[in-house]
Amino acid sequence: MKLNAVIKVYGDPNAISACFKPELMDRKRANFKIIEKEDYVLFEIETKDSAALRATFNGITKLLTVYEKLEGV
């Protein structure tokens, strides 16, 4: 089964995407790409199964939590 998801994050597109550049690599079960817009970033996730979707989604949201906490420092 193929699954797709999109996460839309408002904020500084350059700073947000810079945090995720090291995470961009080809994986066997899941991949995502970052699309920078004027005032937000889109994460397009493509996976082969639901466990890979959940793992990718969790990885993205955990790094966004770290970014959000550091933004306030």
Residue 64, domain CATH: 3.30.310.50
The whole-number pLDDT of residue 38 equals 94
**C-alpha distances in angstroms, 20 versus 1, 4, 6, 8, 52?**
26, 19, 15, 14, 18
* Residue 9 and residue 17 in contact, taking contact as beta carbons nearer than 8 Å: no
pTM (2 d.p.) = 0.86
14-66 per-position pLDDT tens digit: 999 999 888 877 788 999 999 999 999 999 999 999 999 999 999 999 999 99
Domain count along the chain: 1
User: Whole domain around residue 13: which residue ranges?
Assistant: 3-71
Extract the runs of DSSP E, i.e. beta strands, from the chain.
Answer: 3-10, 30-36, 40-47
pLDDT exceeds 90 at position 71: no
